[in-house]
Amino acid sequence: QQQVKQSPQSLIVQKGGISIINCAYENTAFDYFPWYQQFPGKGPALLIAIRPDVSEKKEGRFTISFNKSAKQFSLHIMDSQPGDSATYFCAASPGNNRKLIWGLGTSLAVNP
Amino acid sequence: EPEVTQTPSHQVTQMGQEVILRCVPISNHLYFYWYRQILGQKVEFLVSFYNNEISEKSEIFDDQFSVERPDGSNFTLKIRSTKLEDSAMYFCASRDDRSYEQYFGPGTRLTVT
């Protein structure tokens, strides 16, 4: 129930293409869903996050789509660039302490 | 821009030794967290800390682990007797009380030999 399932494990996209990463959860107590970007040797950096009261949130080239009934959410990276090549983690958080439960990560490579 | 800092960036220690990992959270943040990431695996929650006490800990955070906020700026994670399986990246994170956003430090790579 505490798991967040993330797919795919790895993704290769051409420059200018759309990268899509999916996550699913079981625990209905989760009410905050962030996406983090991590470059090798660095800490995770918050990219974008959503609460379940909205179905979509867009910030620049990054969009989260959220389907509460299906307990799924996804990250879309439009016009993917080589600089987007990184590992992306979805996470979910229940109330109170806001600990983050993480997906396994997706290694994204954007070819020039 | 304020950021979370961590020291050291890399710590090598022998099995059975004690290590202290240090973090300086963002100054107006009140909630503090430690996570770890074993190489190539997902990030795992260890402990959360608020109002000078542990608010939640995971099953990983056993009696060998402790956290402390010794002064107004530092937040430390101590591992009393390190094991080989403690080798991982350890990340500190903090957030303020007005949002859910956690900001992470660059991590400390702990290598236990």
CA–CA distance, B82 with B65 (Å, rounded to integer): 9
Identity of the residue numbered B24: V
Burial class from Cβ neighbours inside 10 Å (0-12, 13-18, 19+) for residue A95 reads exposed
**Strand-pair partners of B60:** none
Distance to chain A for B49, nearest Cα, Å: 8
In a 13 Å sphere around the CA of B58, the CA atoms on its Cβ side amount to 15
Average pLDDT of span A1-5? 83
- DSSP classification of residue B3: -
pLDDT band at A1 (very low <50, low <70, confident <90, very high): low
* A46 to B33: CB separation less than 8 angstroms, yes or no: no
Nearest CA among B71, B92, B66, B79 for reference residue B3: B92
Query: Which of A32, A44, A97 is opposite residue B48, by nearest beta carbon?
Result: A97
Q: What is the pLDDT of residue A95?
A: 73
Q: What is the pLDDT of residue B56?
A: 93
Give the tens place of pLDDT for each residue, A59-87.
Answer: 999 999 999 999 999 999 999 999 999 99
End-to-end CA gap in chain A: 39
Nearest CA among A55, A57, A26 for reference residue A47: A57
pLDDT along chain B (113 residues), means of 10: 92 97 94 93 93 93 94 93 96 92 95 97
User: Mean pLDDT score of chain A, rounded to an integer?
Assistant: 94
